[in-house]
């Protein structure tokens, strides 16, 4: 079996770069049918201007027209309180469930959550760094294969492959894998 791995850094533009524009840093959250988690959410960002995108649409898997919010808490002293964000989105709204807003993020941590009753598990923390420079180091990736082997070391029957990626600088946005020498790259979601 041939397994190729690639991953991309979440974001790593620094203070010594030209002045940032909102398009330089786009942070995207997505939601769908589940009420216990966002389908995707950034973990890290760099201080400065950013465009926050929240999409809860049929394209992101919302088949029930379930509304969700993306709200930044401003009442907990443990977290930053300088961005007042409360976006309500559902597939049937005037924007088709996709909304964006420009904000200015400060170094520190932002607590975000869905304010709809019963959706309390939809939450997380966005960590914002000063951005001391561009993150040019590639994320470290690894793959572990578990399964039965024959005497020659080849896997027999089924084998389970677990993929991991880590990046101390800007975090990991996505991990992709390909099977075989000519396999197509696809997102690793497990």
pLDDT tens, position by position, for the chain (190 residues)? 444 444 444 433 343 444 444 346 999 999 999 999 999 999 999 999 999 999 999 999 999 999 999 999 999 999 999 999 999 999 999 999 999 999 999 999 999 999 999 999 999 999 999 875 566 677 888 888 999 999 998 989 898 888 888 887 677 878 888 888 888 888 888 7
Task: Report yes or no on 70 lying in a domain.
Answer: yes
Q: Which two tokens stand for residue 51?
A: 């465009």
pLDDT at 135: 64
pLDDT at 90: 95
pLDDT at 12: 38
Same structural domain, 39 and 87: yes
Nearest partner of 101 among 51, 54, 55, 56, judged by Cα = 51
pLDDT at 125: 96
Same structural domain, 31 and 117: yes
The three-point CA angle 147-152-157 to 5° equals 35
Residue 73: domain span:
18-129
Same structural domain, 25 and 76: yes
Same structural domain, 41 and 115: yes
Task: Report yes or no on 98 lying in a domain.
Answer: yes
Which residues face 160 on adjacent strands? 146
Which residues face 103 on adjacent strands? 50
**CA 37/CA 45 separation, integer angstroms:** 20
pLDDT at 18: 42
Same structural domain, 89 and 64: yes
**Phi and psi torsions of 59, nearest 5°:** -65, -30
**CA 139/CA 163 separation, integer angstroms:** 13
Query: Is residue 92 within 8 Å of 85, Cβ to Cβ?
Result: no
Within 13 Å, how many C-alpha atoms sit on residue 143's CB side? 17
pLDDT at 177: 82
pLDDT at 136: 60
Query: Is residue 176 within 8 Å of 163, Cβ to Cβ?
Result: no
pLDDT at 132: 53
Task: Report yes or no on 120 lying in a domain.
Answer: yes
Same structural domain, 69 and 117: yes
**Phi and psi torsions of 60, nearest 5°:** -95, 10
Domain count along the chain: 2
Task: Report yes or no on 75 lying in a domain.
Answer: yes
pLDDT at 1: 41
pLDDT at 14: 40
pLDDT at 98: 97
Task: Report yes or no on 13 lying in a domain.
Answer: no
**CA 137/CA 185 separation, integer angstroms:** 21
Indicate the residue among 129, 144, 170 that finishes a domain: 129
Q: Which two tokens stand for residue 135?
A: 């993150």
3-class state of residue 129 by DSSP: strand
Same structural domain, 164 and 143: yes
Indicate the residue among 129, 154, 170 that finishes a domain: 129
């Amino acid at each position: 079996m041939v397994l190729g791995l690639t991953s991309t850094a979440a974001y790593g533009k620094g203070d010594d770069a030209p002045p940032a524009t909102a398009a330089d840093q786009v942070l995207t959250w997505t939601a769908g049918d589940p009420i216990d988690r966002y389908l995707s959410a950034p973990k890290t960002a760099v201080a400065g201007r950013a465009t926050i995108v929240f999409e809860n649409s049929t394209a992101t898997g919302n088949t029930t027209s379930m509304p969700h919010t993306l709200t930044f808490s401003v009442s907990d002293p443990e977290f930053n309180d300088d961005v007042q964000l409360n976006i309500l989105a559902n597939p049937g709204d005037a924007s088709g469930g996709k909304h964006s807003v420009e904000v200015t993020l400060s170094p520190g941590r932002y607590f975000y959550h869905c304010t709809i009753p019963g959706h309390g598990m939809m939450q997380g923390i966005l960590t914002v760094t000063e951005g001391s420079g561009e993150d040019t180091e590639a994320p470290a990736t690894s793959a572990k294969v578990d399964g039965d082997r024959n005497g020659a070391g080849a896997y027999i029957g089924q084998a389970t492959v677990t993929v991991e990626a880590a990046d101390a600088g800007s975090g990991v946005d996505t991990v992709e894998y390909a099977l075989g020498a000519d396999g197509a790259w696809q997102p690793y979601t497990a």
